[in-house]
Amino acid sequence: MTTELRNAPGGSPAAGADAILRELPTEQGTLRYWEAGQGRPLVFLHGSGPGVSGWQNFGDVLPAFAEHFHCYVIEFPGFGVSDPTDKHPMPAASQAVIDLLDGLGLDKVDIIGNSMGGMVGTLFSMSHPERVRRLVTVGGLGLNAFAPFPAEGINLLIAFTEDPTRERLIQWLRSMVFDEETVTEELIEKRWALATEPKTLESARRMYSSAAMKAQIAAQAESDDPPAWSMLHKVKAKTLILWGRDDRVTPMDASLIPMRTIPDVELHVFPKCGHWAMIEQKAAFESVVVEFLNREESTS
């Protein structure tokens, strides 16, 4: 059973979409999500990083999608909106997708995932192919083929997580975009408030501290399981990969492996754009993604 909390924040463009924040009780705690529009179900999965939320990632583009689809913007556990979690953010987010779909009785959906949300959506598409009609990822899916790992933006994120100062937050935010004027004082203040909340910071350190990154790399090196990028041929949904040409968090060469291995895939690259295509190239993002999701199924 869901509970309605409030309408979209005043002054946001998405308020015109009649977005409502709801909460869904789950075994993992209370899961919150924004709901707007009518039509085929479309689920938005946000990225990671200091002060991130589903609303921060997708609130501004929500009206364009709510005109066509029944939209659900998940707020992942541990990011300051839904209940905190003791789990690593990735498995907690993956479980949240299952909890939302099962809790709302959504058998098959389209998914838009940004960065970590793109990885979560891809893994869900691989493990539950019957439940995903179309998949859209915005950066973060694949493997750095030429660029070093971790990239600049990830290193700045680690630096903030280990020593959270306002200046480090600003440095990281600027690495996320092509045009640094995108990083406004309003954005900085919103991100700072969420990012420094103790439970949120604790969750971030499970993913982005130096120790966590070293442990992740060591575990991958010792594991006999195939890496996720080598299993992308298991994605059955029609897929659209979106990338900012100037992404300094997950460089564009990471798109090469998913572009070649996902069976039914398209790649669209936005110029003058960093990691946040839905923010820096808002109009183009809306146009490209709505067309892809509404395109008639091929009969061939």
* Residues with active-site annotation: 275
Within the chain, where are the H helices?
54-58, 62-66, 89-104, 116-127, 152-162, 166-175, 185-195, 198-208, 210-222, 256-261, 277-280, 282-294
At residue 78, φ and ψ (nearest 5 deg) are: 90, 0
What is each CA distance from 151 to 16, 102, 249, in whole angstroms?
A: 37, 36, 6
Nearest to 85 by CA among 194, 197, 203, 195: 203
Two tokens, residue 123? 């893994």
291: number of Cβ within 10 Å: 10
